Amino acid sequence: MLALKFLWAPDPVVISLGSFNIYYYSLMFVVAFASGLYLMKFMYKNEGVSLEYLDPLLLYMVAGTLIGARLGEVFFYNWDYFQNNLLEIILPIKITENGWKFVGFRGLASHGAVVGILTALYLYTKKYKYTSLVWLLDRIAITVALGGIFIRIGNFFNSEIVGKYTGSSFGVVFKNNGETLPRHPVQLYESLGYFIVFIILFLIYKNTTKRNQKGFLIGAFFTLLFGVRFLAEFVKESQGGFGESIGYLSTGQWLSIPLILLGLILIAISYKTKANA
């Protein structure tokens, strides 16, 4: 039988400038935002919306994503650590006995990013009143699914958020973590899942009827993307958080359930609104 074990030991650093390192994970964030901006430009042109609104939208999205994802990591997954290291919540440094060390913001949680993005876009639509929040969310959902593909690839390069041991000759051995046994490449599973979600959402967008059915796209996004996340958690090592004390499911799964339900509710409302229109 062919052994499908893959040894993985990349240098996660793209550029090193003294004690300051740029990681593939950071690079993938840039790619995610750049690709999202390109896609939003396509949709704005397609629907006759002025491109002048895109620059401020990008700023709101970046701020909402990073702040929300960081706070999600702090409060959902790692409060036991951060309650004693409050400075690290807002600064990318770690205080040590020998001074300080640049560590970056590597602790980011996608569920927190959802809260941050929703908050940022609410504030954006309050200032720029050319469209509704739901209209914007329907389109942003496609770009977020696209960005998620690259973020998980960045996690793979960093050898983080790893899967469980496969117990067979199949899997990836994360040599940078000092391991010798293969694990599920769950980062790539999720990346592939998000790619499929992106394709589905984009095809829905291309259908004019569905595109104009307000709330359908964002509802499909929540249902599909967090459905992928829920399933991936079954072969992912625990990331800690409150799910440890509840049991049965992981923290990521407990956080995904309300978002999946929200997605189904939004889809139902979109059909009801269409029927009453």
> Across residues 101-127, what is the average pLDDT?
80
State the DSSP string of 81-98: HHTT-THHHHSSEEEETT
pLDDT band at 92, cuts 50/70/90? low
Terminal Cα-to-Cα distance of the chain (whole angstroms): 60
> Across residues 152-177, what is the average pLDDT?
91
Residue 21 pairs with which residues in a beta bridge? 16
Q: Which two tokens stand for residue 58?
A: 């990008």
Per the model's pLDDT, the better-predicted residue between 155 and 26 turns out to be 155
Looking at residue 1, its pLDDT comes to 39
Q: At which residue do the structure tokens 């595109």 appear?
A: 211
- Condensed to tens digits (0 to 9), the pLDDT of residues 11-24 reads 878 887 776 777 78
Q: In this structure, are residues 168 and 45 in contact, taking their beta carbons and an 8 Å threshold? A: no
List C-alpha distances in Å: 79 to 82, 105, 197: 5, 15, 31
pTM here?
Answer: 0.86
- Condensed to tens digits (0 to 9), the pLDDT of residues 209-268 reads 888 899 999 999 999 999 999 999 999 998 777 777 787 888 889 989 999 999 999 999
Residue 105 — φ and ψ, nearest 5°? -105, 75
Q: In this structure, are residues 131 and 49 in contact, taking their beta carbons and an 8 Å threshold? A: yes
